[in-house]
Structure 1
Amino acid sequence: MVLRPPILQRRFLSSNVLKNNHHHHHNQWTINQVTKSNFTESLEQIKNHITHSDFVAVSMQKTGSYSAAWQRLLPFDTADTAYFKAKYAAERFQVLQFAVCPFSVRAAKVIAHPYNFHLFPRDEFKIGMPSYSFSCQSSYLTTMAQEGFDFNVCIYSGISYLSRAQESAAKDRIGNPVPSNYVVQLPSTLSVADTIFVERIKSRVKHWRNACKDSNTRSEEALIRSLRKLIVGGEEYGSRPCLNLDVCSERQVQLALEMLKEFSDDLVPLLIPTKGGGTQAVRIVLTSSKEDRILFERELQHMEEEQNKRVRGFREVIDSISASQKPVVAHNSLNDFTFIHSKFLTPLPPTMDEFSSSLRLVFPHILDVNHLMKEIGPLKRLTNLRAAISCLKERFFAPIDLEIPHQGETNEGNRHGHNVLRISQLFAKLCSILKITPEAHEDDKGHLTSALECYANIFNPCSTSSEDPINGDVMVWTDNTRKVRCKDLVFLWGFRGGISARMLENQLRGSHEVFSEEFDVRLVDKSCAIVVFWDPGFAESFLEAMKSGGIFCEPLRELISEGLRAACYEAYNRVCRLGLWEKNLADALDKALADTDSLSEAHSKEEQSVISWNSDLMINLDDL
């Protein structure tokens, strides 16, 4: 019997129509809304679409992002500080929707297959994973509610999942019998204890096996069969007889499996794991024939696959994207992929370099439309998807039709998952304008190369280098491409509340000789400002003057007496590295400097104890 798929409807969305009737047209975008009830069938569909598409776009709806203004990704963030911020957000907030869109670009057309998965970290197996507390920001929840998000559906019908790290731990906690995959390696000579153990269980297995196969026992009454089963020690695994052999060590497991090779025609060994990860028993299942044995092994394999699917849940989608090795297209990739790594792979590593290396093993090609936008002058300052698409329509002629061959469930007023289509369309438009051919080509050596390679795996849109976070070049304003070294930046706080950047700049001008040359001031938040010294060495001179209390400069001394404090970029880097996520940056810098002072004091005492060591003070035992 051949199952034929339903006739697929086609809808062509031209960019001109989108321009004239933007809001109406977005309501026509029908995206598969996937919950627990239709997850299995949707999983098979999206796997097929991933296989036959060239790219996969992803987008997420989270319960929050950054709690304070200074905790957002800022232009003067290095790759390291940006990662620390993204790591904090990914570990604190939760993903409730994950949109995935396999797509291909053919000339001036995007062929897209969008799905929006509703997620919830539910403890399906009552093993304490992945349920955990997470934070929510009211502004994010309000926006989701305005878009028609049903929180009841999310909680009760959202798809659960386990990360790869959690799955390994879960298999031990669930404790279901698993087929034996042991490669038995035993020494040629066995100890006396080994020999006794093997002979004892061999005798027991033979006795049980013969009793199960004895045709006379089949005609016995149920009571007698039950008593016999109790005496022999047998049970049933489904409809087949089984026997449990208790073991005390992994060596005994190997001995038992080696002994059972003598009965390989009709006995199938299973391992019963403990919650700690070892093996508590070897379960032997008796099959009626060789054919029944093969059938039973297939049943076991099917049961294991089904359980693994239940354990993985939505992560099946993540694994499918990874297995395809297709380029993944995102918007703000650092934000999204710290969430993906944290929720679906393993806990986030401590550094940006380790994160990049770990992620590349799973997703070798990640493309961020933000980096493509930086190549187009008018888009350099834009970070919003809708604003970027609107700007492109007004300034460039790049008609891109959007074709959605298979329609999802129509839900009037439901706009969930539309960003993933915007990312797909924006990506195609940017490639068209930049004259980039999205398809990969085979070079002279037979390797697949693409013009997009130089845009892959760049996670921080602001920083140019992560090798030296303190001396590297950064920007201070998004609308100004002028770069400055991190060592020429100074963080300033302790000024009176309500002051503007211009007012603070006027106060600083003339307070010290370094402010007689070109410098700029920008407020990071209401408590802290950043001062940019465009002349090398001026930042160090100012910090030295602050450290000395401004004794050689009266105006600066007055500002210090009023509470003004200053720190170099390393203090800010330390704040992010240590996770001092206070509401105000000034409070976080105070904590970082306090920790630095205490460490320096401890180090000084340690050095002092070493320096004060004097051989004249040593006691010579021979003199006593």
Structure 2
Amino acid sequence: MTNVTRHNFEELLPEILRNIERSDFIAIDTEFTGLHFQSDSHNSLFDTPQDRYSKLRQTASQFTVCQLGLSAFIKSSSQNKYSAHTYNFYLFPKSCATIDARFSCQASSIQFLCQYGFDFNKLFYGGVSYLSMEAEKELRQQVEEQESILTSDVDDHLVTSFTSAISDWLPGAKEGDQISLAKISDDMVSIQMQALLRNCFPDIWTSQVDTGEILITKLNPEKKAALLKEERPWTERLLVKLSGFTRVFRHISELKKPLIGHNFLTDLLFLHSKFYKTLPAKFQDFKRNIHDLLPHLYDTKFLIMEIRRELEEAGLSLTSTSLANVYHAMHTDPSKLGVPHLPEIELADNCARYGKEEFFHEAGFDAYLAGYVFLRMAHYITAKDTSIMHPKLLTFRKYIPALAPHENKSNIIRASVPYVNLAGEDPASRRPKLLYVTSRGPSPLQAKELAAMFNTYTSVDVKMIDRRHALLATSTWGGSKDIMRAFKNDRTIHLANYNVFQHSKPVRYGLWGAIAVMGAVCLWTFFGDQPKKT
């Protein structure tokens, strides 16, 4: 694994882009600074796909991606082997001109990151910049109108110290003389400062040496003009630096490679929000956008939920569907999958330490695990009906048709549906019917008391309608039946299967209103058309 910060990003970028191009698929994982922006944004069995999207949209819009793992899996040309090239990016947005992202965090998320050894120094001091494509487009338009907007936020004290030093030195300097000024560790600030200095002093040239110091050279305006023609415009260099990791994301999107994640609907919202553009209000619009950007998505959580029973019957021990547990099951004894020609998966040299120690919840490590698990399941799904004596090895292209039923479907936890379809219609709910709870006595219903009472039978969520009525969502059909049976003759509450026409006041009032209007129209039609007596 290679930790990628702003200090080595430009150096590593060609290698990263090249490995993405060479890869058969890419796996990702993200760590972020918060999970729930509001107290009512927790998962609920009542959640429709739009409801869940609206909650996740708040999270992805308000919080920040602080770490992103990327693992590019490359097939060997001569062996039945894949090599995982893994990168662990620390990300932190830069401010420039009108761009100044808010940094919000949730204490529980920060504590979680600390628990797993997250390096906050790398985040704040070395985080790679990023800029959404939407924001970049807006900023470029502003620069065309007013170039100086890109230097409007440079520290005045820093500018004064540099200009004063040059003003003192310049009168006595001869053409070709040089002076070194203070070190600037931030490449973006260096570009901004050099642009300001060149604008202030027509007869100097600026450059940054390896030590980070700004080198000032006195020269005539003609030579300066010639050098400017040879150099890439400073505004373009600054915007490229500002976009940072978005260049990697754009490359992934352009290549349309399969993208893998584990339970990664939230990750996808963060990718859209931070590297593409503001999240739309409607889930359907988000699905359209993400499908255009990343048309081949595979969620290992969804995959394992679909074939879990098969794998357990084959002898694989899956105590849970967490990424760590699935990886351990498939890594410890892959022969239990019972399929021929299972490809070997090796760690590339840049992430050899992942073979010696486990780093759960480090984005790079989790990205590697997601890719590992995906490759094992993709081969199992494709080869499970193949004879053990079959001599032909399977290429990655052979996996794609077998995986078609699972493509672009992402698992969602504790909702009205088990998954969402990012390239089509979402599935119908498989949950039991909602239960309508009515208080039999004068005492008002309490959501927490109801939840505690019913949770002994199955996992439930309660939604209050008013003081005497509530809706109950249950997670299992058996649990729902048990609750109805247990409270059939209860003296304090009455339970019934929810019927929207019977139990929803707005619907009932709407129906009665419609009947009244139709009656009035019929009466007017009947009596209004009677001929008048003369």
3-state secondary structure, aligned to 1:530: strand
1:385 Cα shift? 0.7
| Equivalent position of 1:268 in the other structure | none
The one-character-per-residue Cα deviations of 1:320-340 (angstroms, maximum 9, x if unpaired) are 211222111111121110111
1:464 Cα shift? 6.7
- State, as a whole percentage, how many aligned pairs show the same letter: 23
- TM-score calculated relative to the size of structure 2: 0.61
379, 386, 390: which one pairs with 2:324? 386
420, 439, 459: which one pairs with 2:410? 459
Q: How does 1:236-255 map to 2 (within 5 A)?
A: none
Q: 1:475 to 1:297 in 2, by over 3 A?
A: farther
Q: How many residues align?
A: 405
Distance in 2 between residues matched to 1:142 and 1:149, nearest whole Å = 10
| Equivalent position of 1:117 in the other structure | 89
Distance in 2 between residues matched to 1:396 and 1:422, nearest whole Å = 14
The one-character-per-residue Cα deviations of 1:545-567 (angstroms, maximum 9, x if unpaired) are xxxxxxxxx9789537xxx9997
Equivalent position amino acid for 2:59 in 1: A
The one-character-per-residue Cα deviations of 1:459-500 (angstroms, maximum 9, x if unpaired) are 34514779887xx63244xxxxxxx5xxx3246596446647
1:137 Cα shift? 2.9
345, 357, 361: which one pairs with 2:276? 345
Alignment pair present for 1:524 and 2:468: no
| Equivalent position of 1:138 in the other structure | 107
Q: How does 1:479-558 map to 2 (within 5 A)?
A: 484=432, 488-490=433-435, 495-496=445-446, 499=449, 503-504=453-454, 522-524=459-461, 529-531=472-474
1:97 Cα shift? 0.4
Unaligned stretches of 5+ residues in structure 2: 148-197, 204-220, 384-393, 413-417, 439-443, 465-470, 526-534
The one-character-per-residue Cα deviations of 1:426-455 (angstroms, maximum 9, x if unpaired) are 1122123223556226xxxxxx96433332
Q: Given that residues 49 and 113 in structure 1 are in contact (C-alpha distance below 8 angstroms), is that contact kept between their aligned partners in structure 2?
A: yes
Q: Given that residues 37 and 62 in structure 2 are in contact (C-alpha distance below 8 angstroms), is that contact kept between their aligned partners in structure 1?
A: no
Q: Given that residues 464 and 473 in structure 1 are in contact (C-alpha distance below 8 angstroms), is that contact kept between their aligned partners in structure 2?
A: no
Equivalent position amino acid for 1:141 in 2: I
1:74 Cα shift? 5.6
Distance in 2 between residues matched to 1:505 and 1:314, nearest whole Å = 45
Q: 1:390 to 1:414 in 2, by over 3 A?
A: closer
Distance in 1 between residues matched to 2:288 and 2:420, nearest whole Å = 18
Q: Given that residues 491 and 569 in structure 1 are in contact (C-alpha distance below 8 angstroms), is that contact kept between their aligned partners in structure 2?
A: no
Distance in 1 between residues matched to 2:75 and 2:492, nearest whole Å = 64
3-state secondary structure, aligned to 1:58: strand
The one-character-per-residue Cα deviations of 1:388-443 (angstroms, maximum 9, x if unpaired) are 122335675167432213358999997732111111211122123223556226xx
- TM-score calculated relative to the size of structure 1: 0.53
Distance in 2 between residues matched to 1:162 and 1:403, nearest whole Å = 31
| Equivalent position of 1:168 in the other structure | 137
Rg comparison, structure with higher value: 1
Q: Given that residues 110 and 424 in structure 1 are in contact (C-alpha distance below 8 angstroms), is that contact kept between their aligned partners in structure 2?
A: no
| Equivalent position of 1:430 in the other structure | 377
Q: 1:312 to 1:468 in 2, by over 3 A?
A: closer
1:116 Cα shift? 0.9
Q: How does 1:292-371 map to 2 (within 5 A)?
A: 299-300=231-232, 303=234, 305-371=236-302
3-state secondary structure, aligned to 2:280: coil
| Equivalent position of 1:439 in the other structure | 396
Q: Given that residues 46 and 461 in structure 2 are in contact (C-alpha distance below 8 angstroms), is that contact kept between their aligned partners in structure 1?
A: no
| Equivalent position of 2:307 in the other structure | 375
Equivalent position amino acid for 2:286 in 1: F
Q: Given that residues 263 and 302 in structure 2 are in contact (C-alpha distance below 8 angstroms), is that contact kept between their aligned partners in structure 1?
A: no
1:532 Cα shift? 7.8
Q: 1:47 to 1:489 in 2, by over 3 A?
A: same
Equivalent position amino acid for 1:434 in 2: I
Q: Given that residues 70 and 524 in structure 1 are in contact (C-alpha distance below 8 angstroms), is that contact kept between their aligned partners in structure 2?
A: no
Distance in 2 between residues matched to 1:161 and 1:169, nearest whole Å = 15
3-state secondary structure, aligned to 1:340: helix
Distance in 1 between residues matched to 2:497 and 2:92, nearest whole Å = 44
Q: 1:58 to 1:533 in 2, by over 3 A?
A: closer
| Equivalent position of 1:406 in the other structure | 350
Distance in 1 between residues matched to 2:135 and 2:500, nearest whole Å = 37
Q: 1:569 to 1:427 in 2, by over 3 A?
A: farther
Alignment pair present for 1:81 and 2:51: yes
| Equivalent position of 1:264 in the other structure | none
The one-character-per-residue Cα deviations of 1:191-243 (angstroms, maximum 9, x if unpaired) are xxxxxxxxxxxxxxxxxxxxxxxxxxxxxxxxxxxxxxxxxxxx989969xxx
Tell me which moved more, 324-333 or 100-109.
100-109
Distance in 2 between residues matched to 1:465 and 1:556, nearest whole Å = 41
Alignment pair present for 1:126 and 2:58: no
Q: Given that residues 56 and 327 in structure 1 are in contact (C-alpha distance below 8 angstroms), is that contact kept between their aligned partners in structure 2?
A: yes
Q: Given that residues 47 and 320 in structure 1 are in contact (C-alpha distance below 8 angstroms), is that contact kept between their aligned partners in structure 2?
A: yes
Distance in 2 between residues matched to 1:305 and 1:62, nearest whole Å = 29
Distance in 1 between residues matched to 2:499 and 2:66, nearest whole Å = 39
| Equivalent position of 1:36 in the other structure | 6
| Equivalent position of 2:171 in the other structure | none
Equivalent position amino acid for 1:327 in 2: P
3-state secondary structure, aligned to 1:61: strand
| Equivalent position of 1:473 in the other structure | 428
Distance in 2 between residues matched to 1:175 and 1:565, nearest whole Å = 65
3-state secondary structure, aligned to 1:37: coil
Distance in 1 between residues matched to 2:496 and 2:274, nearest whole Å = 39
Q: 1:83 to 1:567 in 2, by over 3 A?
A: farther
| Equivalent position of 1:258 in the other structure | none
1:311 Cα shift? 2.7
1:105 Cα shift? 4.1
Unaligned stretches of 5+ residues in structure 1: 1-30, 179-234, 241-286, 442-447, 477-483, 507-519, 543-553, 571-592, 616-624
| Equivalent position of 2:177 in the other structure | none
Q: Given that residues 461 and 474 in structure 2 are in contact (C-alpha distance below 8 angstroms), is that contact kept between their aligned partners in structure 1?
A: no
Q: Given that residues 435 and 496 in structure 2 are in contact (C-alpha distance below 8 angstroms), is that contact kept between their aligned partners in structure 1?
A: no
1:355 Cα shift? 1.2
| Equivalent position of 1:559 in the other structure | 493
Q: Given that residues 130 and 162 in structure 1 are in contact (C-alpha distance below 8 angstroms), is that contact kept between their aligned partners in structure 2?
A: no
3-state secondary structure, aligned to 1:427: helix
| Equivalent position of 2:188 in the other structure | none
Q: Given that residues 32 and 409 in structure 1 are in contact (C-alpha distance below 8 angstroms), is that contact kept between their aligned partners in structure 2?
A: no
1:307 Cα shift? 2.6
3-state secondary structure, aligned to 2:326: helix
Equivalent position amino acid for 1:523 in 2: V
1:155 Cα shift? 1.9
